[in-house]
Amino acid sequence: MNTHKTKVLYIINKDTGFKKTDELIFHSIFDLRKLNFVSFLDYFNPKIIIDTIFCSSIIIWFASKHAIPIILLNYLFKNKIFIIAGGYDVAKMPEINYGSMRFGSKRTIVNWILLKAHNVIAVSKSNRDEILNNTKVTKDKIRLIYNCVQKSKVEYDLKKDNIIITVGEVNEETYLRKGLDRFIKVARLMPEIEFIHIGKWTDTNGNKSNKTIKYVKRKSPSNIKFLGYLKRKELIKYYNISNIYLQLSRHEAFGISVLEAMSYGCIPIVSNIFSLPEIIGEHGYIVNNIKETKEKIRLALNDRYYKVPTSHLQTYSIKKRTASFKKLISN
């Protein structure tokens, strides 16, 4: 063990891909311990006290209930707390019933958590604006550190097919937030084209469930395939053969799947909301409605010269995120 590394405690609520990526990053630069709050009993684990004593800094993904025990303990231990606020916690979208900032009690709790942080980490400029507009956190406490994708070099498969792909969980909440209803509408208007959805079928707590996917399949035309969860090797295969990546979300704090698809040569077509225009830049199509989406799909299907500069992906690289966290936490 390198005793010169900063001692960091990493707090999450259930593992997901981007949290695992951050864990690998933090392991590479810090002397790291991790607490994963999966069940109610985890909140009473004595390891919380031991690990809080061990560390000098604490990184927490999302300002939610799993942050509360650490915040309370920190009244005694006075460690620096860094909260990555990248989603539901700082969102306010009553029109789709999304975001902690809609409710009095939830809003109060999240603001209390965020105000106890030494710094609040935004994962995009759009996410930073949400933090400023929806919470009581002041601009001087916010640090922008972009989320990252695993590849920072663009690869192109010349054998692209006329396939339109999207990736994301399917549940009651994501159906509207991720724009799956819009994906279905576009597919219905273009029956000659194959549409593919990849992602877990869950409930709103992230547990396996077929309830929403059954409803979605009943509403969907026959040219959409729902493949469910795929291991990364299989996911990459579909990125490689698909011509277009379509993301018609109503809210996105970042959009990792969009950038991943771009790194395999998929042309992104995204809704004109939150972080999506920011992360694709000038290297895709931004749409405002279903009619525009159909028009841009026609253009993209005829674009055989699409290419994203590697420099664009490097803005969202693991290397850059690693350096940013090392500089922030070690100071």
pLDDT (tens digit, 9 = 90+) per residue, 189-207? 999 999 999 999 999 888 8
Give residue 27's domain range: 7-148+318-330
Q: Are residues 216 and 100 in the same domain?
A: no
Please tell me the predicted confidence (pLDDT) of residue 157. 66
Q: Distance between CA atoms of 32 and 322, rounded to whole angstroms?
A: 14
CB-CB contact of 246 with 266 (8 Å): no
Q: Distance between CA atoms of 123 and 253, rounded to whole angstroms?
A: 7
**Among 44, 49, 70, which residue's Cα sits nearest to residue 59?**
70
Q: Are residues 111 and 243 in the same domain?
A: no
Q: What is the number of domains present in the chain? A: 2
CATH number of the domain residue 290 falls in: 3.40.50.2000
Q: Distance between CA atoms of 213 and 219, rounded to whole angstroms?
A: 10
CB-CB contact of 201 with 208 (8 Å): yes
Inside any domain, residue 153: no
In a structure prediction context, what are the per-residue pLDDT tens digits for the chain, which is 331 residues long? 445 899 999 999 989 889 999 999 999 999 999 999 988 888 888 999 999 999 999 999 999 999 999 999 999 999 999 999 989 999 999 999 999 999 889 999 999 999 999 999 999 999 999 999 999 999 999 999 999 998 767 776 667 899 999 999 999 999 999 999 999 999 999 999 999 999 999 998 888 999 999 999 999 999 999 999 999 999 999 999 999 999 999 999 999 999 999 999 999 999 999 999 999 999 999 999 999 999 999 999 998 788 889 899 999 999 999 999 999 998 7
Q: Are residues 326 and 215 in the same domain?
A: no
Q: Are residues 198 and 93 in the same domain?
A: no
Beta-bridge mates of residue 186? none
Q: Distance between CA atoms of 273 and 119, rounded to whole angstroms?
A: 26
Inside any domain, residue 169: yes
Beta-bridge mates of residue 119? 82
Inside any domain, residue 177: yes
Inside any domain, residue 154: no
Q: Are residues 87 and 211 in the same domain?
A: no
Please tell me the predicted confidence (pLDDT) of residue 158. 65
Inside any domain, residue 26: yes
Please tell me the predicted confidence (pLDDT) of residue 3. 55
Q: Are residues 125 and 191 in the same domain?
A: no
Inside any domain, residue 230: yes
Q: Are residues 141 and 257 in the same domain?
A: no
Q: Are residues 168 and 251 in the same domain?
A: yes
Please tell me the predicted confidence (pLDDT) of residue 1. 45
Q: For residue 214, count other CB atoms closer than 10 A to its CB.
A: 10
Indicate the residue type of 31: D
Q: Distance between CA atoms of 31 and 52, rounded to whole angstroms?
A: 13
What is the pTM (predicted TM-score) of this model? 0.93
**Among 81, 80, 236, 230, which residue's Cα sits nearest to residue 168?**
230
Instruction: Return the DSSP state at 168.
Output: -
Q: Are residues 44 and 134 in the same domain?
A: yes
Q: Are residues 223 and 278 in the same domain?
A: yes
Burial of 206 (0-12, 13-18, 19+ CB in 10 A): middle
Q: Are residues 322 and 304 in the same domain?
A: no
**Among 10, 11, 15, 43, which residue's Cα sits nearest to residue 28?**
10
